[in-house]
Amino acid sequence: MKYILSLLLSALVSLTVAAEKPNIVVFISDDHSQLDSQAYGSTEVRTPNMKRLAEEGLKFTHAFVASPACGPSRTAMLTGLWSARNGAEANHKAKKPEVPSLPTVLRSLGYEMAIIGKVAHSDWAKFYDFDTAIGPSVGISDTAEVAKFLSERTSKKPLCLFVGTRHPHVPWSDERSYDPAKVTIPPTHVDTTVTREQRASYLTDITKSDTLLGEVRALAREKITGDTLFIYTADHGGQWPFGKWNLYDAGIRIPLIIAWPGTVKPATRSDAMVCWPDLLPTFIELGGGKVPDGIDGKSFAGILRGTTTTHRDQVFTTHSGDGDFNVYPIRCVRTHDWKYIRNLHPEFQHHSHISRSTGPSGLAYWKTWLAAAESDPAAAATVKRYTTRPAEEFYDLANDPNELHNLAADPKQAERLTTMRSDLDAWMKQQGDTQTVFGKPLLQGEPVTLIDKKAKKASK
């Protein structure tokens, strides 16, 4: 009799724990910088759904990715490890086969794991132990597959669903809903007619992403029963010079907004430093599990539950390259107010798809920057700053949020610079960072050659 009562009690406890596991829905944009959102203070881009989500939940002001390129960023999220440890250092390089998948842990906790659209990079969803993986792998442009999946779903398990759109990844829309003459040009860009047109296209695609976010959230409310946590975020910054493929904040600082009715207080903000490898460890703790030992990610469940307000003192980010388009390995450490960047090979020219690809990746406006640089000293300085980097960069983010003034040679900052340099050295050693160069670099002084993206794909 005692044995039977024990089994019943055990079953009751199990059911109670299962009932307490929140559903988790994560909506991911592709290439969306944090400040390009109404929720983060933009007065020109229309993102009413992001704004509404922030009004109903918690907005993180200091959220970062592990790397400013799609593959490394998403792999770090799904493994809880930075790139040197998970193996996905260069873009389009998969994780090491022996590196565990964190979705496996969530499945073991009783979650149904599903992804729709671009969540893992390329076709790499097969490496991550999802119950359901629905394309397209480039990301969704409508919510038909989300509606179909949720309508046909019969599982009674708590759901962890990731939905990834392709917006605002290039190619951007030709149908612009913003006036190029009225857009705001960032101080790191060159103001030309074509830049304005492309900026208007980028903002148009952010609004498209926001519309999809609203549709997914409405579907989640209608189709998913029970306690549900909803997240909006992005894999890294926009595909602009000094954004994607760079360790400036325009490349690594991303939106992270979380609504969780009954737990997260509405219209709140957190200045705690968090990063993408922290996401799945957080989900694991919320699901009642133990975060695996030895990973880099750290749960910030305490912030969501209101039991703590702090998380990390510093975050580290890395970038190793993206084929021959972008061969420029960079490392950095960032605190709340300061950033130290190390360009591992300043003898290389810095380029990317923007300046070397024949595809729809920015060459149209980049050519106008080069033309402006022939007669405009300010434009020439911007172009030079993009293509030629010093070995070290050091920024006072509180007073220089656009990272325009490199203080690495300022004697007043020598002590702080030495400390952060040592912090980065120690972290790179701990990570086993071999500082590998992926691809064929362009050395300073060599002529810039364009790479035909279609020809590169055909040759693989």
| pLDDT tens digits along 431-440 | 999 999 999 9
The Cα–Cα gap between 86 and 242 comes to 26
Q: What's the mean pLDDT in 404-429? A: 98
Count of helices and strands (H, E) across the chain = 15, 12
pLDDT band at 6 (very low <50, low <70, confident <90, very high): very low
Q: How many CA atoms lie within 13 A of 434 on its CB side?
A: 9
Nearest CA among 201, 185, 199, 237 for reference residue 73: 237
CB 211 within 8 Å of CB 49? yes
pLDDT at 359: 81
Out of 58-72, 212-226, 359-373, pick the least confident: 359-373
DSSP-based three-state secondary structure for 111 = coil
Counting Cβ atoms within 10 Å, is residue 252 exposed (0-12), middle (13-18) or buried (19+)?
buried
Q: How far apart are the first and last CA of the chain?
A: 67
The Cα–Cα gap between 224 and 230 comes to 11
Given a cut of 70, is residue 336 above it in pLDDT?
yes
Nearest CA among 297, 261, 255, 305 for reference residue 280: 297
Which segments of the chain belong to CATH 3.40.720.10?
A: 18-312
- CATH of 317-459 given 3.90.226.10, 3.30.1120.10, 3.30.70.2190, 3.40.50.300: 3.30.1120.10
| Chain segment 152-178, per-residue pLDDT in tens | 999 999 999 999 999 999 999 988 999
Tokens of 439: 């691809």
Which segments of the chain belong to CATH 3.30.1120.10?
A: 317-459
pLDDT band at 233 (very low <50, low <70, confident <90, very high): very high
pLDDT at 361: 74
Selected residue with higher pLDDT from 5 and 373 = 373
- CATH of 18-312 given 3.40.50.740, 3.40.50.720, 3.60.20.30, 3.40.720.10: 3.40.720.10
Q: What's the mean pLDDT in 197-216? A: 98
> Which residues lie below 8 Å from residue 99, measured CB to CB, with a gap of 6+?
79, 81, 85, 86, 87
